[in-house]
Amino acid sequence: MRIEPDSHVPVYLQIVELLRSSIAAGVYRAGEGLPSLRVLSTDLRVNPNTVQRAFDELCRQGLIESRRGVGMFVAKRGTHSATARAEETAQAAFAQAAAAALAAGLDVDRVRELFESALPSASKKSRTKKTGVPS
Amino acid sequence: MRIEPDSHVPVYLQIVELLRSSIAAGVYRAGEGLPSLRVLSTDLRVNPNTVQRAFDELCRQGLIESRRGVGMFVAKRGTHSATARAEETAQAAFAQAAAAALAAGLDVDRVRELFESALPSASKKSRTKKTGVPS
DNA sequence: TATACTGAACTAGTTAACTAGGTCAGTAAG
DNA sequence: CTTACTGACCTAGTTAACTAGTTCAGTATA
């Protein structure tokens, strides 16, 4: 998943989603450190302030914890919480897209067809996901 | 479908989506007129300029046509085009949500479960929407 | 003709998101 | 100690989206 500056979704929320799915997938495990503000900002080619805003949001959600002068670390129940939130997010997105399709007059079977036809491309995108994990 | 000013999706795009699904559902048929700029803006409690921006977008997409001094009218192939776009939009939304869920480590069967569990609530939302759609 | 609609087209101002750049404080290691 | 990292904080400026208000032009009807 890359950052799309031209999306109508704010970049800091895209970063929140990116880190949250990485935590859920086990790329960063409980107690481990995340890449630093400045490293992430250069990697994602984004302003450090934007990354910090994403960190703030993840702290607020309890997924990560800050140790001043050291770095950001995945909270104890971070992996579990991230997975739960990923499921909620996906379900909400499915519900919204399905509601829009039904409102446009499509029937339920057609909506199921569209979902199934969307799955293969989604699987391809989710494959080569692993990036370097810092110590 | 209501307008949500606090959504990260621009209001004018929400209006585009709203009108497009109404056209696809047959609420406004080919050749028929849409509510005027000022009527829509007061109904949706939105600035007229924002509605006009939505009209511009729908004109650009070829779903509606403008008759200056008269109003906006659904294009000849408007219903068909709107349905096609609704399917594309739904499929893209499904693909994106599914890709995010898979990237978070969920397996395909779990993603299907989330989709199926989202369908009932989506159906409920679309029921109260039908204000006069013939069979 | 007058009037009451319609879309189109401006200017001006606000807010959220983002960028740019810097500073300060805490931590770890040489 | 110094050096080099870390997050936290701050000001200033830009852009897109939206609001507010007005004006102009085309159309229909009485």
Distance B70 CA to C5 C1' (A): 8
CB pairs under 8 A between A and B: 168
Considering only CB atoms, B98 lies closest to which of A83, A104, A118, namely A118
> Is the CB of residue B84 less than 8 Å away from at least one CB of chain A?
no
Instruction: Output the tens digit of pLDDT for each of chain A's 135 residues.
Output: 689 988 999 999 999 999 999 999 999 999 989 999 999 999 999 999 999 999 999 999 999 999 999 999 999 999 999 999 999 999 999 999 999 999 999 999 999 999 999 998 877 666 544 343 332
In tens, the pLDDT along A39-54 reads 999 999 999 999 999 9
- Give the dihedral sign, CA B70/B76/B79/B83: negative
B65 Ramachandran zone, left/alpha/beta (phi>0; psi -120 to 50): beta
3-state secondary structure of A36: coil
If contacts are CB pairs under 8 Å, which of residues 24-53 in chain A contact chain B? 24-26
Give me the phi and psi of A71, to 5 degrees please: 155, -170
> Is the CB of residue B89 less than 8 Å away from at least one CB of chain A?
yes
Instruction: Note the Cα B99 to chain centre separation in Å.
Output: 23
In tens, the pLDDT along B4-55 reads 988 999 999 999 999 999 999 999 999 989 999 999 999 999 999 999 999 9
Residue of chain B whose alpha carbon sits nearest to that of A2 = B100
The rounded mean pLDDT for chain B is: 90
Structure tokens at A97: 């897209």
Instruction: Note the Cα A85 to chain centre separation in Å.
Output: 9
Residue of chain A whose alpha carbon sits nearest to that of B107 = A123
Contact B114, A90 (CB under 8 A): yes
Distance CA B12, CA B57 (A): 9
pLDDT category of residue B121 using cuts at 50, 70 and 90? confident
CB contacts, 8 Å: B98 with chain A: 90, 115, 118-119, 122-123
pLDDT of residue A128: 43
Name the residue with higher pLDDT: B59 or A127: B59
Report the predicted TM-score, pTM, of the whole model to 2 decimal places. 0.88
DSSP letters, B61-91, are TTSEEEETTTEEEE-TTHHHHHHHHHHHHHH
Q: What is the percent of chain B where pLDDT is above 90?
A: 82
pLDDT of residue B123: 79
Residue of chain A whose alpha carbon sits nearest to that of B117 = A91
Residue B127 has pLDDT above 90, yes or no: no
